[in-house]
Structure 1
């Protein structure tokens, strides 16, 4: 059975669309109309398969995804290869009962629960019938940022080491949904240091209300330059510095002494979300 997706003729006169270069116009219309789209606007989006369909490189697809994440038009989960079109309701979502029941079934298959929470807020804002759309689907409260990493061996602390998947999840939960470029940066840092240390740097960024990759990288550059190899090294380094300085480092202070954070001064406290 054939499926159809609707794009209004006014789509091409939209102020946002008019200013886009041809390749970005093509990509946006593609993510709205390709064969894997569904009724809820959250679906599996394979970079490899999309590159074949659009006739471009996988790197080109990653760059386009990153641009549209920055434009605020989509969210993308690299780990699960899921895309969410944030204004899908403008093009395809209607309030017929059959459509809403279909949306409910599709949401049960969504892997990224943060996407479901975001979709819930959009539906709530538009006053769609939530009792049908989210029937039997759990919509939890936003996860709070982890305050501290428990020392190894402390009662109740986990013994297993973090993985790259843990880093991606921690970044997406506490900073924002990770982009392809940010993923590559964090992979690089996990290779130079390790996943547990990268997670600690993310927590430091959250503690200092500097939720962006530049601040996180600034912390990791400093720890790497100090030759820190493990979680305990980082904890001892931070404790030693705080005892010497009598205070915790803050965003934009740009200290130069050996124990201080060497964070780029132009990074803003609110980051680049």
Structure 2
């Protein structure tokens, strides 16, 4: 809930641009928010909901982290914390409220975010509950503000407890890079290829979204559109965008502009291991050859047919 005092806040009224206010209201009211002011959300989800590019979301996140100092974000756990959430929302205690807060705090992975939000909570009972979830050494930890220079959500935490986990992730990334080099030899000569790949994915999302909106699939059917976009990252297609657009084109041709119909097509192709548009076209050409109507070369006489073996005798009957 956003109180009317929101607009009286000097930071909001004097320092924020109209875009900042819109973004801040989104952070406070989107469907992922919780009772504790800490919740999971990806930057891709923010970009989709707001209609922004991922680059714009990165810029806003950095502005709110470094300039306004109103949020903290851990891209490793995909958790965001609103600094003044407790100050603005957590005024009443009681068993139901405390039970809800306790339950949601148990789900938080980055415990430093709990301490961050607890600092502005004025009700001692609730603040004590927050602090009970913090590690003893958390007060001495230095939490680095999120760097927003990368397009992806990579984040190296200063907490040495997770050092081993970070090493494992680095090894996995290196393994993926080696696989990419084997698949695309030019990747080694292009240090910015990962960033370019993320930019291409953003363009793919936009292109599919525009096709959906412009071809009668339902402009307001946002949930269905989101489910379809999952196929960009969660499918085995080598050309996910092109394959999705082809499936949507087929749906339009058959006047079946529904999510289930499009997904049914995609699942059939995936089950047949058809991973590119070329493979799909080739498969359907072989499965459904165009029927050719052969013209008969036989000629049929006009009138009664003469029986086979009949001999015509022109002299018969003259005697």
TM-score, normalised on structure 1? 0.49
Structure in which a larger fraction of residues adopt helix: 2
Larger Rg: 2
Higher relative contact order (CA 8 A, sep 6+): 1
